[in-house]
Amino acid sequence: MAPFALAPYLEATRVRVEALLQPRLSTLFGRAPEALLEAMRYSVLGGGKRLRPTLCLSFADAVSRASGGGGEAADDAACAVEWVHAYSLIHDDLPAMDDDDLRRGRPTSHKVFGEAMAILAGDALLTEAFALLTREATPLRASLCAELAGAAGAAGMVGGQVLDIAADRPADRAHLERMHGLKTGALIRASCRMGALAAGARESELRLADAYGRAVGLAFQIADDVLDVTASREAMGKPTRADAARGRPTFPAVLGLEASRAMAREQAELAAAAIRPLEPEPGPLAMLARYAAERDR
Amino acid sequence: MAPFALAPYLEATRVRVEALLQPRLSTLFGRAPEALLEAMRYSVLGGGKRLRPTLCLSFADAVSRASGGGGEAADDAACAVEWVHAYSLIHDDLPAMDDDDLRRGRPTSHKVFGEAMAILAGDALLTEAFALLTREATPLRASLCAELAGAAGAAGMVGGQVLDIAADRPADRAHLERMHGLKTGALIRASCRMGALAAGARESELRLADAYGRAVGLAFQIADDVLDVTASREAMGKPTRADAARGRPTFPAVLGLEASRAMAREQAELAAAAIRPLEPEPGPLAMLARYAAERDR
């Protein structure tokens, strides 16, 4: 068997995700104000790596080989995590938060639509993610909703953002891991878990998804911090050196650049090891873990 | 039988709602940053009429007399609609939106905690409402979640807020009814429907809840516009004449004061009539409809 090639897999999955996102936003046409839908589309359909939906679908595929199909629930879950991710970027970029003007090479939402509409577009994407997940009244749909709400809420992503903007944040590794574990890690972990759940994962498989998602989330965030130091604004599509400019603690600042890179690789190895029972030969999940740690943008 | 007395009922239900809200917020202690929880508590436990949870519980009680108990699902639904209401007030009050300094006689969230924390407290309350609704993985919980997300999202409350802040809003009755139908009406209707659903309502009972909720929502909003013209800042706990100052169309401005009062009463009558199959003698639901139209604060 030829070794698994990540690049074509990432591209094929990206195309698959785009094809899922578009019609799901379209169901709101005619029922919601056009100006709001335009702002929602701008952020959801404006590119991005689609890491979270890719993890979600990859887990659904990996689990369903054993137990029989992620289907529409997995597709909805993939879109819901991406909507929640898009909402979090819109709100994080607001003048009252990070006050960023550029995201993915384009002006941020509030620069294009104004602050009020940006807040509301974020609110709507968050809310519609839960509407999408519960468009069927089944126990599975309620579980998916609970996973997403837990990961995105006060003890997850929002809580992490609060820690990140706190004036008295300590600059040590424990704080960084806790903050990022909530701010980025929780949603990445939930993306893995939701894909597995949608495909009918057993409890043991859910535990694998959890361990994998935790390690990948950390690897991804360390890589993000490293890229903020080493990459160009052009490659990233947003300002770099932004963390240092804000006096924000980062892994390279706390551990040094080489130790940070080593830690990202170590987490990717952990993730790949965790997933071996589900993916005995290195496949999408092992490669995605490596990609999270070693990506160049 | 003595005629039903609304004031003690409202007070008893308010106490019941406060007792439900407190422990449900407390489950986040230790798992979410304390500063965030403080901002969430400030807005949720800071008083208010508790109209939405009162409607939710009253419907659950009315339906369960026939079919057997709203129970914990109704209690969770009542809290979830109030959390979503609290989030919407926090975000509506933001400088980028209505820029209000006073709410329920106290400084608004962003005045106390800063804009970033206010945005995040709103985001967290919205998200935790869905977490609360889906803390059991049942079809009923998924339905409650779908109701709330539909009412709060792009084709509901957020959409209504977009229409309300649009620069080109027309000042006529059709626009007012559409805008308020989304901005206030959708969540009030959902409060009624969710209470009914939680108590196991039949389809016919859900339709009653829907018709009642629609009329009560409109009556409530007309009364709000009337109070903005006629009441004092002290009675309302927030600035009055605010709509006119913002050039915002209102029912009194479009229809005149007396015609607006008549229309609110008419909607209350419609609601009371809709509910008669469920409540043959005038009880909580009929009285709540009248209260929504004729309240003095």
Of B156, A207, A112, B265, whose CA–CA distance to B164 is shortest?
B156
Mutation choice for A interface testing from B108, B123, B197 by most A CBs within 10 A: B123
Angle at A20 between CA A77 and CA A83, to 5 degrees: 50
Distance CA A83, CA B64 (A): 37
Share of chain B above pLDDT 90, in %: 80
Give the pLDDT of residue B296. 79
Give the pLDDT of residue A66. 64
Which amino acid, A143?
Answer: S
Rounded to the nearest integer, the mean pLDDT of chain A is 92
Give the pLDDT of residue A168. 76
Give the model confidence (pLDDT) of A60-70 as tens digits: 999 997 666 67
Give the model confidence (pLDDT) of B8-44 as tens digits: 999 999 999 999 999 999 999 999 999 999 999 999 9
Paired strand residues for B102: B107
User: Within 10 A of B277 (CB to CB), how many other CB atoms are there?
Assistant: 10
The nearest alpha carbon in chain B to A145 belongs to B134
Quote the ipTM score: 0.95
Of A274, A168, A152, whose CA–CA distance to A219 is shortest?
A274
Contact: B143, A126; criterion CB under 8 Å: no
Give all strands (DSSP E) within chain B, no chain letters.
102-103, 106-107
* Chain A residues whose beta carbon lies within 8 Å of the beta carbon of residue B130: 130, 145, 148-149
Contact: A119, B152; criterion CB under 8 Å: no
Residue B50 has pLDDT above 90, yes or no: yes
Give domain limits for chain A: 6-294
Give the pLDDT of residue A1. 60
Angle at B91 between CA B85 and CA B95, to 5 degrees: 150
Minimal CA separation from B285 to chain A, in Å: 28
Q: Please compute the mean of the pLDDT values over residues A140-145 and round it to a whole number.
A: 98
DSSP A102: E
Is the domain covering A6-294 a CATH 1.10.600.10 domain?
yes
Asked if B285 contacts B212 with a C-beta cutoff of 8 angstroms, the reply is yes
Distance CA A157, CA A186 (A): 6
Give the model confidence (pLDDT) of A174-184 as tens digits: 999 999 999 99
Asked if A292 contacts A219 with a C-beta cutoff of 8 angstroms, the reply is yes
Between B57 and A1, name the one with better pLDDT.
B57
* Chain B residues whose beta carbon lies within 8 Å of the beta carbon of residue A152: 127
* Chain B residues whose beta carbon lies within 8 Å of the beta carbon of residue A135: 146
Distance CA A233, CA A170 (A): 28
Give the pLDDT of residue A67. 64
Give the pLDDT of residue A288. 96
* Chain A residues whose beta carbon lies within 8 Å of the beta carbon of residue B122: 123
Paired strand residues for B103: B106
Give the model confidence (pLDDT) of A13-41 as tens digits: 999 999 999 999 999 999 999 999 999 99
Phi then psi dihedrals of residue A106, to 5 deg: -130, 160
Asked if A225 contacts A250 with a C-beta cutoff of 8 angstroms, the reply is yes
Contact: B32, A140; criterion CB under 8 Å: no
The nearest alpha carbon in chain B to A156 belongs to B32
Of A114, A131, A140, the CB nearest to B149: A131
**SS3 category, A103:** strand
Total residue length of chain A = 297
Asked if B179 contacts B164 with a C-beta cutoff of 8 angstroms, the reply is yes
Contact: A149, B155; criterion CB under 8 Å: no
The residue with tokens 């749909």 is A141
Between B98 and B1, name the one with better pLDDT.
B98
Contact: B116, A130; criterion CB under 8 Å: no
Using a 10 angstrom Cβ sphere, with 0-12 exposed, 13-18 middle and 19 or more buried, the burial of residue A96 is: buried
Give the model confidence (pLDDT) of B249-287 as tens digits: 889 999 999 999 999 999 999 999 999 999 999 899 999
pLDDT band at B137 (very low <50, low <70, confident <90, very high): very high
Give the pLDDT of residue B69. 64
What is the number of CB-based contacts under 8 A between chain A and chain B? 167
Give the pLDDT of residue A244. 67
Distance CA B163, CA B165 (A): 6
The nearest alpha carbon in chain B to A140 belongs to B137
Q: H or E stretch including A206? A: helix A203-230
* Chain B residues whose beta carbon lies within 8 Å of the beta carbon of residue A93: none
Give the model confidence (pLDDT) of A149-165 as tens digits: 999 999 999 999 999 99
**SS3 category, B102:** strand
Of B117, B145, B163, the CB nearest to A145: B145
SS3 breakdown of chain B: % helix, strand, coil, rounded to 5?
75, 0, 25
Residue B214 has pLDDT above 70, yes or no: yes
Which amino acid, A247?
Answer: G
Residue A257 has pLDDT above 90, yes or no: yes
* Chain A residues whose beta carbon lies within 8 Å of the beta carbon of residue B94: 119
The nearest alpha carbon in chain B to A90 belongs to B119
Q: Please compute the mean of the pLDDT values over residues B154-171 and round it to a whole number.
A: 90
Q: Please compute the mean of the pLDDT values over residues A264-287 and round it to a whole number.
A: 95
Q: Mind giving me the DSSP string for B213-240?
A: HHHHHHHHHHHHHHHHHHS-HHHHTS-S
Minimal CA separation from B149 to chain A, in Å: 5
DSSP B184: I
Asked if A254 contacts A183 with a C-beta cutoff of 8 angstroms, the reply is no
* Chain B residues whose beta carbon lies within 8 Å of the beta carbon of residue A150: 131
Token output for B149: 């997300």
Of A91, A142, A155, the CB nearest to B123: A91
Give the pLDDT of residue A228. 86
Give the pLDDT of residue A242. 72
Q: Please compute the mean of the pLDDT values over residues A100-129 and round it to a whole number.
A: 96
Distance CA A77, CA A75 (A): 5
pLDDT band at A247 (very low <50, low <70, confident <90, very high): confident
Give the pLDDT of residue A180. 93
Distance CA B242, CA A28 (A): 32
DSSP A97: T
Give the pLDDT of residue B233. 67
Token output for A261: 């890179």
Share of chain B above pLDDT 70, in %: 95
User: Within 10 A of A3 (CB to CB), how many other CB atoms are there?
Assistant: 9
